[in-house]
């Protein structure tokens, strides 16, 4: 049965009176995933930030899990906290904390979990991404691909329903990028919806849609 999981309707976003995003429309059902493509500066990061409820929109609305979570003058910050996770282009790991603290801290800070329990959940998440052997290292002791996996672990540790990823493989060599994409496709296979900004072309049939900016308009295309 159709359920309104994520729906972006006539979204417009301006910065200082300049229209950055105009008439963006797309929707996903629970578990469906989407890649976003378009040239530099067309607004991909801004669109992800709007969906992550980090930006107010100027027209239209965003529906998540059958609720209006964003419209002009209103952003539902409570939804943002746990159900939608975002990994940024720059990752933003905390350099003065170990890998384990990076992944565990949001859990005990935001979910109110006790610290020992949070560490256990975080270690389990790191193990799932094959990076638990680096738990007591600091981010600057890791390779680029290892850092990507830590950032993914931190985003996944809350079991979000929607994971937003902004060009997270752009700075990786092709082989490591391929591995990280494999991890993301496993996350999709486990039932989480992923929205990924990328310049790569994917052949896997796990991606349901592409949203592309053709220089004029945003179009949602079915991939499978
Ligand atoms: N906080 C801000 N204030 C003013 N303008 C902004 C802000 N954030 C982004 N912009 C502008 O919005 C436009 C879209 O930026 P955005 O970062 O979303 O592009 P992008 O498609 O992600 O580009 P890239 O592929 O280079 O990452 C750019 O012209 C940028 O200068
Ligand atoms: Mg960007």
Q: Taking residues 58-76, what's their average pLDDT?
A: 96
Instruction: Tell me the CA distances in angstroms from 127 to 108, 123, 153, 174, one per residue in order.
Output: 19, 6, 9, 23
Q: Residue 131 and residue 148: Cα distance in Å, rounded?
A: 10
Ligand nearest to the CA of 213: 1
Nearest to 152 by CA among 140, 141, 166, 171: 166
Edge-to-edge strands of the sheet including 84-87?
A: 84-87, 162-166, 193-197, 34-37, 209-213, 218-222
Distance (Å) from CA 80 to ligand 2 centroid: 20
Highest mean pLDDT among 13-22, 143-152, 192-201: 13-22
Minimum CA distance residue for ligand 1 atom 29:
41
In the chain, % of residues over pLDDT 70: 96
Range scoring the smallest mean pLDDT among 169-173, 191-195, 204-208: 169-173
pTM: 0.93
pLDDT of residue 2: 56
How much is the pLDDT for 106? 84
Hey, where are the domains in the chain?
A: 96-159
pLDDT on residue 80:
64
What is the residue with the minimal CA distance to atom 6 of ligand 1? 15
Among the bound ligands, name the one nearest to the CA of residue 38. 1
Residue nearest to atom 24 of ligand 1 (CA): 40
Q: Which residue has the tokens 């965003």?
A: 62
Choose one of 14, 40, 43 to mutate for the ligand 1 pocket test, by most ligand atoms within 8 angstroms of C-beta: 43
Average pLDDT over residues 75-98: 88
| H or E, element range at 12 | strand 6-15
Q: Which residues of 41-57 are buried (b: 16+ CB within 10 A; e: fewer)?
A: ebbbbbbbbbbbbbbeb
Provide the mean pLDDT of the chain.
91
């Amino acid at each position: 049965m159709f359920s309104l999981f994520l729906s972006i309707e006539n979204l417009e976003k301006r910065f200082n009176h300049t229209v950055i995003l105009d008439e963006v429309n797309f929707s996903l059902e629970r578990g469906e995933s989407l890649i976003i493509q378009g040239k530099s500066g067309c607004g991909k990061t801004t669109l992800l930030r709007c969906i992550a409820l980090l930006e107010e929109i100027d027209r239209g609305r965003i529906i998540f899990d059958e609720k209006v979570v964003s419209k002009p003058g209103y952003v539902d910050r409570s939804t943002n906290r746990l159900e939608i996770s975002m990994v940024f282009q720059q990752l933003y790991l905390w350099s003065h904390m170990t890998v384990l603290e990076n992944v565990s801290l949001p859990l005990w800070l935001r979910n109110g979990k006790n610290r020992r329990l949070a560490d256990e959940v975080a270690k389990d998440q790191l193990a799932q991404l094959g990076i638990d052997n680096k738990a007591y290292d600091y981010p600057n002791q890791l390779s680029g691909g290892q850092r990507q996996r830590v950032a993914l672990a931190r985003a996944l540790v809350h079991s979000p329903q929607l994971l937003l990823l902004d060009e997270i493989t752009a700075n990786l060599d092709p082989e490591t990028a391929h591995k990280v994409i494999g991890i993301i496709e496993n996350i999709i296979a486990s039932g989480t919806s992923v929205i990924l900004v990328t310049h790569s072309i994917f052949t896997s049939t796990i991606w349901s849609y592409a949203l592309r900016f053709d220089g004029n308009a945003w179009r949602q295309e079915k991939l499978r």
